[in-house]
A and B are shown apart, each in its own frame.
Chain A
Amino acid sequence: MTQGWKNHKILGISRPISQFINEWKLIFAVIRKSPITTIGLAIVMGFVILGIVGPYITPYDPMTIGVTGTLKRLHPPCLEHPFGTDEYGRDLFSRVLYGARISLIAALCVMALAVPIGIVLGLVSGYYGGIIDEIIMRVTDIFLSFPGLVLAIAFSASLGAGLTSAIIALAAVWWPGYVRVIRAQVLVVKEMLFVEAAKAIGVKTSRILFRHILPNSITPLLVLITFDFGSVILATSALSFIGLGAQPPIPEWGRLIADGRKWFPEKWWYSFFPGLAILVTVLGFNLLGDGIRDVMDPRYRRSIEIKG
């Protein structure tokens, strides 16, 4: 099966669906062989599941003040409240659990906005070249002239504090990266024989772009999305931490850390556990992204093929 995959690269022939599936099988085979990547995949899957079901399985109501009784304000971690309680007597474990959904939704929304914009502009830029390419590249240059978080802070401040503003701001900052990646792929793929052939038989440009070029650019895109998912979760928490993103009482993780700082250092658990949740989640995405990138690296892939 791997032989067939190699042939398509060498000959530049558009591959049939079966080979596409084979490549996915290969990716999963390699992931299974690497324990670190498996851990990453497990964390990411756990995060997604908790993001979906989290709010239904919280032991206490994460929002209602005094839900655990008045005596349990700022209670240190115990069996009943593994992450302790906050100054309003809310169970922090429930709040952190609920926070998974906030982070998941925020990251999904940012990706849903940034990735399509990046794909379309990248395809157009790489395929047509010339003046359109020049303009699009210049604009991405300008966006990339700022550290992402700084630009996101400025956007977010202009739109007004709040989670929606933060999501729009992050999407506004994140799309140029996708333009770059897709464009670079298009420049390679568009020279291949099957694209020439499609053009020669008069296939419509939009069809060439989305049916022939895009599917062949999907793997680097996947790596970037995986890494960026983690980065967006980090950036969202940073925006909330400095007071721009999620507003109280939304238990966004960065917001919880900021709230907990008021009680630092005696009530350490308040800031500690939300931060640990961010660390573990983002680590999961980074491990998974690393793993997928290794699969794509031909040198690494070869060693797996020989071994397997």
Chain B
Amino acid sequence: MGDIKRYIIRRALSFLPTILGVLILTFIISHVIPADPVRVWAGGYKARPEIIEEIRRKYHLDKPLYEQLILYLRDVFSGDWGTSPMSKRPVLVDIAEYFPATVELAIVSSILLTIIGIPLGLIAALKKDSTIDHFIRVVALIGTSAPAFWIAIVLQWIFYYYLGLLPATGRGIPPIIRYTGMYVFDSLLNGSLELFIENLKHILLPSITLAFTGLGIIARVVRNTALDVLSSEFIDFARARGLWGLQLYRHVLKNALIPVITILALEIGYILSGAIVIETVFSWPGIGLYAVNAINSLDYPAIMGITLLIGLVFIFINFVTDIAYAIIDPRVRL
């Protein structure tokens, strides 16, 4: 295990410049690009002069740029991500409140994506060029090509308005004791099956929407990888040894794992940005709903806070993916 630890530390260090770069990029977007940064931070042209003065001081916008950058980095690292004019609270406090709902949505969507996408890809590979292969391809392509927010609306129309099966909006009922802030998991931890089913019903439509938009990529990657593995020599060998069925597919799956993990990590990024757009449709109180409300009320600190948060989360996911490679494939550690 020693070299795994060394690898993790090495990888973590190599991500530091990227994190610094991400911070500089958000600084450029928020401090350099706006024609009049003070007005943007103050929330547009309606802001009163005294508020503008206050904002100018608070975000150090009266200082030269390089000093602004240093102060910005200091603020971010000390946990001061600005104050949201909309909620009058620190942005980080807001994010802490809204983020669990989005994480919950991302987790459930990723689970759906994995348990639907991987089998679909495998079926497509095994029945290559058959009708079912083409059918899977077209369904997956529709998911990739349709706007997530439109799929959300269509699913709402079908399952809520027309069939009356699932609720269209909201998160359901908060469990009594809060452990993670994620209703579905908390209701299980509270030991309430009833609550679990109710909250699961609420999360189903938004997570199906997100999973559907990501299905195309994962099904395609699994299909192509499986085809490559199936045509490789060690599979011929396994077949010659008389392996078949599940035993054979274990070999296929194990070797298809690395590309699938790569794509899953990428998909989580898509799911997060998809969540920003669709949470509004489902009134799902996550950072997406928070972001869209922020956009519509010109709450600039909130928008930049969410951008930074998602950038950092994405870097962290990439880091975890790299470590997963190293665990699966010892060659990576070298």
Contact = CB atoms under 8 A, between A and B. Distances in A.
Interface of A: 36, 138-139, 141-143, 145-151, 153-155, 157-160, 230, 234, 237-238, 241-244, 254, 257, 261, 264-265, 268, 271-272, 275, 278-279, 282-283, 285-287, 290
B174 interface: no
A279 B303 contact: no
B291 interface: yes
B307 interface: yes
Interface of A is mostly: helix
Interface of B: 17-18, 21-22, 24-26, 29-30, 33-34, 40, 134, 141-142, 144-150, 153-154, 156-157, 160-161, 269-270, 272-274, 276-277, 280-281, 291-292, 295-296, 300, 303-304, 306-307, 310-311, 314-315, 318
A261 B295 contact: no
B156 A275 contact: no
B322 to A, nearest CB: 13
B262 to A, nearest CB: 13
A157 B30 CA distance: 9
Q: Which of B21, B29, B148, B280 has the most CB of A within 10 A?
A: B29
Contacts of A265: 156-157, 160-161
A243 B297 CA distance: 10
Nearest to B280: A242
7 contacts: A146-B310, A150-B272, A238-B277, A242-B276, A244-B295, A275-B146, A282-B146
B303 A157 contact: yes
Contacts of B154: 272, 275
B109 to A, nearest CB: 14
B141 A146 contact: no
Q: Which of B30, B157, B273 has the most CB of A within 10 A?
A: B273
B147 A254 contact: yes
Contacts of B306: 150
Contact of A242 (B40, B150, B277): B277
Nearest to B20: A142
B153 A257 contact: yes
B314 A146 contact: yes
A285 B115 CA distance: 28
B137 to A, nearest CB: 8
Contact of A158 (B29, B147, B150, B310): B29
Contact of A286 (B29, B145, B296, B314): B145
Given A154-B307, A238-B149, 19 more contacts: A139-B21, A145-B22, A145-B314, A145-B315, A148-B273, A150-B272, A157-B295, A158-B29, A158-B34, A159-B34, A237-B147, A242-B277, A242-B291, A244-B295, A265-B157, A268-B157, A275-B146, A282-B144, A285-B145
Contacts of B18: 141-142, 145
A138 B29 CA distance: 18
A261 B280 CA distance: 11
A36 B142 CA distance: 13
Contacts of A272: 153-154
A214 to B, nearest CB: 28
Contacts of B141: 283, 286-287, 290
Nearest to A149: B273
5 nearest CB pairs, A to B:
A275-B150, A142-B21, A147-B273, A282-B145, A265-B161
A160 B157 CA distance: 33
A261 B153 contact: yes
Q: Which of B30, B141, B156 has the most CB of A within 10 A?
A: B141
Contacts of B310: 146-147, 150
B157 to A, nearest CB: 5
A83 to B, nearest CB: 14
Nearest to A268: B157
Contacts of B269: 147
A146 B153 contact: no
B168 to A, nearest CB: 8
Contacts of A261: 153, 281
A116 B34 CA distance: 24
A234 B273 CA distance: 13
A154 B311 CA distance: 11
B161 A257 contact: no
Contacts of B134: 36
B215 to A, nearest CB: 13
Contact of A147 (B30, B144, B303, B314): B314
Given A157-B295, A244-B295, A264-B157, A257 B150 contact: yes
Contacts of B296: 243
A154 B145 CA distance: 23
A279 B146 contact: yes
B26 A154 contact: yes
